[in-house]
């Protein structure tokens, strides 16, 4: 089997709530998502998706994903897509760094592998654990009262885990945390995610101010050293996200007891191949995971669901249903939430079928 053609599509994904806001005054209103289709000489086509959270979240942006694919794709034509290790090696040779630009291509290869094997991606990634798994709901940064209203709204829809976007003015962030915690029962989970938005002294002040509140702290500062300092001065459960980009950083974090949970985003590490390696390393090391991506539609949601559903339940802290945040569907049979929980598709590969009308015409084609 050989790769005969790679097509790249640009898809806009507007948000139901109009805008998504996080630390630093950042905001996205329409997500620019990129879908890659890898067609083989046997007629099997695999699909992948990557959707950076705007240009100011990570060193990644939508146009960069497509520019990176233009550099990588010619090196993959004629190769066997089922040899995912070899594919990743070739991508790294064609373009150093820029893992987000490789993620959708790697994902499409896994989709092909599952289709050829006649099994869902969960089977290839380790097997299905349970019937479904819990979701969290991200609460966009607004005033404390508005965020509390959104927590109450989504709690009524069945969610029991909530990730607040903080990382703003510390006193207002403390109010956000206090007001939202009041909406929840003791068994329900609240995470205060600063997305690197606090300086070290601000994070230490917030951690002290919320010492009596039942809440997790996520990625308070920009650097590992700053986060480690905060970690050593609080007894709150601690999640690291943006600075956890591979096995070496996670190994260091485990050695330093820097976190209790790792937020693993598929595109940040370059695709399913490396995300699986990191997931398995964390599970063996006793570190729980939030499994997700930077953003995306139905295809990303299917990939996230497959990796999450093939993770032992006690090691899966949470995940989210990105396709429920956006107004556009781009594939049939995509996973959907039910009372704050979700399950991975049972179809072959990713288990979803992209909608041709939603994808439109390719913006790039390589043969």
The residues that are catalytic are: 165, 265
Number of C-beta neighbours around residue 205 at 10 A: 16
What is the β-pairing status of strands 161-165 and 189-193?
Answer: parallel
**130-150 CB burial, b ≥16 within 10 A, e <16:** eebbbbbbbbbbbebeebbbb
**75-105 CB burial, b ≥16 within 10 A, e <16:** ebeebebbebeebbebbeeebeebbbbbbbb
In this structure, the dihedral spanned by the alpha carbons of residues 2, 329, 336 and 281, taken in order and rounded to 10 degrees, is 40
Query: Are the C-beta atoms of 17 and 325 separated by less than 8 Å?
Result: yes
Query: Are the C-beta atoms of 76 and 37 separated by less than 8 Å?
Result: no
Give the integer Cα–Cα distance in Å for 27 and 99. Answer: 23
């Amino acid at each position: 089997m050989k790769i005969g053609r790679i097509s790249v599509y640009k898809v806009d994904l507007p948000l139901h709530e109009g805008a998504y806001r996080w630390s630093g005054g950042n905001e996205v209103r329409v997500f620019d998502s990129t879908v890659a289709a890898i067609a083989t000489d046997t007629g099997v086509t695999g699909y992948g998706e990557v959707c950076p959270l705007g240009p100011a979240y990570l060193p990644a942006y939508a146009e960069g994903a497509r520019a990176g694919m233009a550099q990588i794709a010619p090196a993959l034509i004629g190769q066997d897509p089922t040899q995912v290790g070899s594919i990743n090696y070739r991508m790294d040779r064609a373009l150093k760094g820029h893992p987000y630009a490789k993620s959708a291509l790697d994902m499409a290869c896994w989709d092909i592998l599952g289709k050829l094997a006649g099994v869902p991606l969960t089977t290839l990634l380790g097997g299905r654990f349970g019937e479904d798994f819990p979701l969290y709901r991200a609460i966009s940064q607004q005033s404390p009262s508005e965020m509390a209203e959104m927590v109450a709204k989504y709690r009524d829809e069945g969610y029991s885990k909530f990730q607040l976007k903080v990382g703003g003015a510390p006193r207002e962030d403390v109010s956000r945390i206090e007001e939202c915690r009041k909406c929840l029962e003791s068994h329900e989970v609240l995470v205060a995610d600063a997305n690197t938005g606090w300086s070290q002294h601000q994070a230490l002040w917030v951690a002290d101010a919320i010492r009596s509140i039942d809440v997790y702290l996520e990625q308070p500062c920009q650097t590992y050293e700053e986060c480690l300092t905060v970690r050593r001065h609080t007894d709150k459960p601690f999640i690291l996200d943006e600075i956890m980009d591979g096995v070496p950083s996670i190994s260091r974090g485990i050695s330093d007891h820097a976190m209790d949970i790792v937020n693993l985003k598929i595109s940040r590490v370059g695709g399913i191949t490396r995300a699986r390696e990191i997931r398995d390393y964390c599970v063996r090391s006793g570190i729980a995971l939030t499994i997700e991506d930077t953003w995306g539609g139905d295809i990303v949601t299917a990939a996230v669901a497959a990796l999450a559903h093939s993770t032992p339940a006690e090691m899966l802290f949470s995940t989210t249903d990105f396709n429920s945040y956006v107004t556009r569907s781009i594939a049939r049979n995509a996973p959907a939430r039910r009372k704050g929980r979700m399950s991975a598709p049972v179809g072959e590969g990713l288990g979803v079928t992209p909608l041709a009308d939603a994808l439109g015409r390719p913006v790039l084609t390589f043969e």
